[in-house]
Each structure stands twice: as structure tokens, then as C-alpha cells.
Chain A
Amino acid sequence: MFYRTAGQFKTSYEADHALFPVRQDAYLLAFILLLAFVVFPLTASEFAFRALLIPVLIYSLAALGLNILTGYAGQLSLGTGAFMGVGAYACYKLLTVFPEMNIVIAIAMSGFFSAAVGVLFGLPSLRIKGFYLAIATLAAQFFLVWLFQKWAWLYNYNASGAIQVPNIEMFGITVAGPRAEAITQYYFVLCFVCAMTFFAINITRGRIGRMWKAVRDMDIAAELVGINLMRAKLTAFFVSSYIVGVSGALFVFLWRGAAEANLFDIPLSFRVLFIAIIGGLGSILGNYLGAILIVALPVIIGSVPEAFGIPIGSATVEHLNVMLVGALIITFLIVEPHGLARFWAMIREKLILWPFPH
């Protein structure tokens, strides 16, 4: 009823290939953007910005990067956290070496550093496949985190070994650092995430995206029909690591405010991988749904016992949280291995037909 497609005729191939073949999808997106740009900033509290909205956006961006590599190009990676770290450290070095540089440019450029590192660690993918490759990406994970700890130049020889975000202004408004307001940071991240998503949607719809999908589905067959495997895999690593690196820079500069090397260790990689898998591999929307679930879950679990008046210590809540996330992952995989995005696709199908059964 709400999703009636009757009467929407396509008279050209362009219309058939359009971003929103069904008009209601565009309305829905406009509604979500309205929520994100107007309603949330007007209503959200400081806590909601810092604990929910900003992390959801940043994690979904990281998952988007991983999803391009794993979901679209079929190369399983367990090193996402380290690539986020490369972006964050690159951004820190850029902003401390060139203090007058605009932060937008610094973040956009820091992505190129992690993209270069990503391509370097992606080279083995030309020879190694499947789980062997997954373990090989762990080499990047452990080596890079070790490098963040040992290479003091990266954190400007701080005694603490951590990177601290200074106060950074843009057009007279503080956007990063201890003095920045949550709402400015939210808008900053939101604009970045929207731009990246737009870019990702279009690249996965186009020639490069089709090339990736062919490689994912069967790389030998793809090679036989004339796809350059090396180019396909390395562009996937490049684009994926670029997005992941940008999300890493945002992660530290617009959310955490400070970071040690340990922050980018393997739990972060797994967290992003969970988001991508629970959301749905090979879908853009899924990353957002997955991130909302994974970020909101601890907050919900923390507040439920309080609401019922059951006293539970914060340590127990955390353990319970870990346990529940584990159980949820298994449940989700059993119920719908294709993730939350597939759920939405099914609901949409139903809505188009509703109230008729066929």
C-alpha cells in the first residue's frame, strides 16, 4: 500500500538503471536524511550524540569499507582495525606537521595512506585465497599495531605513547579536540559519511563494482571472461582501505579524542566485521543497520536491569553484553545468514504486495 509500484513506468534504460527505480525508496531516504540532519540534532542530548549517533556513523563507515572488500570483492579481511589506525596516525601526523592544514583535507588525505598500506598487504591476495588470506591479513593487524607502539615518530615522541587530538578550528568553529561541541562533530561526521556512502553506492553499481562481484563469485571464471584479477583485487583493497582509513581518522579525531595503539587491536577489527556480517555482506544499507544494532546493544543491555530495578554491577553488565553479542551473532547467522539488509529486502517485498498475498 505504501510501497505501491503500480503506475511507475520506465520508458528508458536510464530510468531502469536509476539509483531509485521505485519512487518510494527515494522518499524513504529523504525521510531518513531529514531525521539525520534536522530531527536528531534538534532533539538529541549530549549523551546521545557521544554514545550513539556519532559512533554509529563512524562504525558504519568502517563497516562500509570492509564490506567493499569482503562483501563485494570476496576477500576476507581481519585487519580492519589496523587500517583504521593507519588513517588515524596519518591524520595526526599531517595535522601536527602542517598545523595550518584544513582538517577536511587532512582526513581525506589520511585515507590515501591507509589505502597505500592496504594495497601493500593486499598483494598476497593475488596468490593466497580464502582462509589463508584471512590469516594473512592478521599479519597486517599485528605488525601495524606493533609499529604504532614502537615507532615513536608516529606519536611525536609523547611520553604517554598516545595521540592527543588538539583543538582544531575550521572557519572559526572548533570541530575537533576537547573544546568542540558534540553537535558540530555530529554534523561534520554526518557530511563525511554521506559523501562516502554516495561514492560507495555509485562505485559498486558501476563497472568496477561488477568486476568485484565477478571476482567474488568465482575468480577463475572472472579471469576467463577477461577481468584483470590483479586490478580488480587491488582496487578493492585500495577503495576499501581508503574508506576504512577515513573512518579511522574520524574515529579518533571526532569521537575518541585520544588513542593508544591498543585501541586498534583485534577486537576493533572483529567489531567492524560483526557489523558488516550482521548487517549483510554485499549491501550498503546493511552496514548502517548492523552498526545501529552493535552500538545500541550495550546501551540497551545496560539500561534494562535498571528499568526493572534489578541491581547488576557494571562488570557483570559488560560480561553479559559480550555473551549476548556472541549469542546474537549465532542466532542471526542461523535465522538469516544474509543479514539485516535481507530482512529489509523481504519486508519491502511484502510491503509492495500488501495487503494482497501475491
Chain B
Amino acid sequence: MDTLKGIFVDPFADMIAAPDFLLQVLWEGLVGGVLYALIALGFVLIFKSSRIFNFAQGIMVVFAALTLVGLHEKGVPALLALPLTLGVMFMLAVAIERAVLRPLVNQPDIILFMATIGITLFLIGLGEIIFGGENKVMITEQLGIPTGSFTLEPFGGFVSIEQKDLTAVIGAVLLVGVLLLFLNKSKIGRAIRALGDDHQAALSVGISLSTIWVIVWFIAGVIALATGIVWGARAGVSFALEVIAYKALPVLMLGGLESVMGAIIGGLAIGILEKLFEIYWGQPLLGGNTEMWFAYVLALIVLLFRPQGLFGERIIERV
């Protein structure tokens, strides 16, 4: 009886008793969710345009953030380091396309997936050799991101909001907006979507596969840099950041591998729900740290009812 009460009654009673705390939890979850959505967006773009399940997206986040901080440590001013890092990400996109994707065209999906794990390992090794493995501090102030926090006072309580989290949310919304505009209105965006719909048809109307791939990987790199700055400002820059890639995978499952909308909604939903579950159910009942698996189990349950995710393309199979 006590267990049942602990599951079905107490958490909701707590929520109603302390609405300001609930709001705080929701806000924290939302910020986490925005980051998951950003990483998932990088995955989705690459998957849509090339059917490659890019496992390296997580390490690209770390690599971009490390490059930015590393350049700044070498004495490059922050506002110059930013475009330089973008340059490095572009070179990376070109190198990956030349060295990995082009020779592996038309291989089975699992082979390309393994290749991206290979890229992940390579970048981990390279990053550690160049920048060292220790935890670094993101150059938040030098980039002009406000720090500090302010408090709101709803329901007579208080909710503390960090300014950099707010900046992160606004920045992410702007980035996604620009990206959607780019994908839907520009010529290159149309080409990317065409490739996503049908490779051969796109090739036959003269869309260059390799150029588009470089562009898509570069966009994924830009998203990685944005994610890296925001996440790095919250938790420091180190290879431990790589684990957020694992947090983005259930977002993909939930939202569907091909859907930009799915990545955003899935990311927000998972960010908020896993925080709620951890605070109200995980810590009192299960000993905490449930964030490790909650998103996966949630996605798994959703997938049992919709095998293509919430927004994914319907899987049509022919014999």
C-alpha cells in the first residue's frame, strides 16, 4: 500500500504543495531538453540527407567546444576563435566526406554506422592528444554570454533562473528558426530535402551528392559548436560531455529518425519528463540517478506502439 501511495499519490501531493519548486524543476528540464533537441537535430539532418546514423555527433560537440576553448587558451581572442572553430568544423566535414563517406558509398547501413563510431574514437584520441584530457572552463564571458541569475516569484515562492540558461534557450530557438528557414526556403535546403526523399532522383536532376554531404556535415558541426558552448557553460568542457550523445539517442527514437519536428518535440519532452521522474519518483523510490535510463525506457515503451517514433516516416516494407 505504501509503495502504491509512493508512486501514485505522494509525488502529485508534493507538486501541488510546492508549485514554485515544480516550476524550477520544469525549467531545468526544459533547458536540458533544448540541448537534447539540438544534438538530436544534428543526427536528424545527417540521417535525412544520407541515411547515415551519425554516432559521432556527440564527440563533434566535444571537439568543437575543445577547439574553441583551446584556441582561446593559445591566445586567440574569443571573437576570432569562434570563426576559426567554424573553419575547423568545415575542414572536419570535408575530411570526413573525403576519407570516410565517399569510399563507403552504397555500403549497408551498419557499416556506415560503424564507420561513424570509428570517427568517434579517432576524434577522442586526436582531441586528447592536442588539447589534453582535463576539464576546461568554457569562455562564457569572453563570448559575451551574460552570467549570473535572477529570481521570479510565482505562487509566493521563488524560481531561480540562470541567465546563461535563458541565453541558451533563446539562442537555440533562433538557431532552429534559421535552420528551418534555410531548409525550407533556400536552394541548398531544397536540395538537402530532395536527397532525403530519394537519392537517385536527386542525383538525376543534378544535385551533387558530395557537396551536399559536406554542407550537411558542416551544419551538424555548427549545431555541435552551439551545443558545445551552451553545455560547456553549464558543465565545463571535457570528454565527459560525450555522454550527452547517448542522451540524444532516445530523443531520436521518440521523435522519429527523419523528423526535424520530432527531434525538437522529443527533446523537450524527454528533458522535462526525465527531470520530473528523477525528482519526484527516482530519488525517493529508486535511489536516484534514474536519468541514465529513463529516457530509453520511455522511448522503448512509445516505440512498442509506434515503431517509427512519434513523427517518423511510416515504414513501408516490400518483399
Contacts and interface: CB of A to CB of B under 8 A. Distances in A.
Interface of A: 70, 76, 124, 127-132, 134-136, 138-139, 142-143, 145-146, 149-150, 218, 220-221, 224, 266, 270, 273-274, 277, 281, 315-316, 319-330, 333-334, 337
A333 B253 contact: no
Contact of A129 (B117, B124, B250, B315): B315
Nearest to B112: A333
B11 to A, nearest CB: 19
Nearest to B121: A326
Contacts of A321: 125
A326 B290 CA distance: 31
A131 B293 contact: no
A353 B100 CA distance: 34
Q: Taking each of A129, A323, A325, which has the highest tally of chain B beta carbons within 10 Å of its own beta carbon?
A: A323
Chain B, interface size category, equals 35 or more
B196 interface: no
A333 B249 contact: no
A304 to B, nearest CB: 16
Interface in B133-190: 133
A316 B129 CA distance: 7
Interface string B256-297: 010000000000000000000000000000110110110011
Interface string B102-136: 01100111110111011111111110110001000
B125 A322 contact: yes
Contacts, number: 139
A316 B133 CA distance: 10
B319 A218 contact: yes
Interface of B: 53, 99-100, 103-104, 107-111, 113-115, 117-126, 128-129, 133, 246, 249-250, 252-253, 257, 286-287, 289-290, 292-293, 296-297, 299-300, 303-304, 307-309, 315, 317, 319
A138 to B, nearest CB: 6
A130 to B, nearest CB: 7
A135 B114 contact: no
Contacts of B118: 326-330, 333
Contacts of B292: 142-143, 145-146
B256 to A, nearest CB: 9
Contacts of A327: 118, 122
Nearest to B252: A135
B119 to A, nearest CB: 7
24 contacts: A124-B303, A128-B304, A131-B109, A131-B113, A131-B257, A132-B253, A132-B303, A135-B253, A136-B296, A138-B249, A138-B250, A220-B317, A224-B319, A274-B117, A277-B114, A322-B122, A326-B120, A326-B122, A326-B124, A330-B100, A333-B114, A333-B118, A337-B104, A337-B111
Contacts of B128: 319, 322
A322 B249 contact: no
A270 B292 CA distance: 18
B104 A333 contact: yes
A142 B293 contact: yes
B120 to A, nearest CB: 7
B255 to A, nearest CB: 11
Contacts of B303: 124, 127-128, 132, 136
B125 A127 contact: no
Chain A CB within 10 Å, residue with most, of B128, B133, B308, B315: B128
A139 B254 CA distance: 13
A26 B53 CA distance: 41
Contacts of A330: 99-100, 115, 118-119, 122
Given A146-B292, A334-B104, A136 B319 contact: no
Contacts of A270: 117
Given A131-B109, A319-B128, 6 more contacts: A124-B300, A135-B252, A136-B296, A136-B303, A142-B246, A329-B121
A358 B303 CA distance: 53
A215 to B, nearest CB: 13
A242 to B, nearest CB: 23
A275 to B, nearest CB: 12
B246 A266 contact: yes
Contacts of A221: 319
B110 A76 contact: yes
Nearest to B116: A330
A315 B257 CA distance: 38
Nearest to B99: A330
B121 A139 contact: no
B293 A127 contact: no
B133 to A, nearest CB: 8
A142 B253 CA distance: 15
Contact of B250 (A135, A224, A323, A333): A135
Given A127-B304, A127-B307, A326-B123, A135 B99 contact: no
A296 to B, nearest CB: 17
A150 B296 contact: no
Given A124-B303, A326-B124, A220 B296 contact: no
Contacts of A218: 319
Contact of A139 (B111, B113, B126, B300): B300
Given A322-B121, A322-B124, A324-B125, A131 B53 contact: yes
Contacts of A266: 246
Given A220-B319, A324-B125, A333 B109 contact: no
Shortest 5 CB-CB distances between A and B: which pairs?
A: A323-B125, A326-B121, A326-B122, A139-B296, A329-B118
A87 to B, nearest CB: 20
Contacts of A134: 53, 113
B287 A150 contact: yes
Contacts of B107: 333, 337
A353 to B, nearest CB: 28
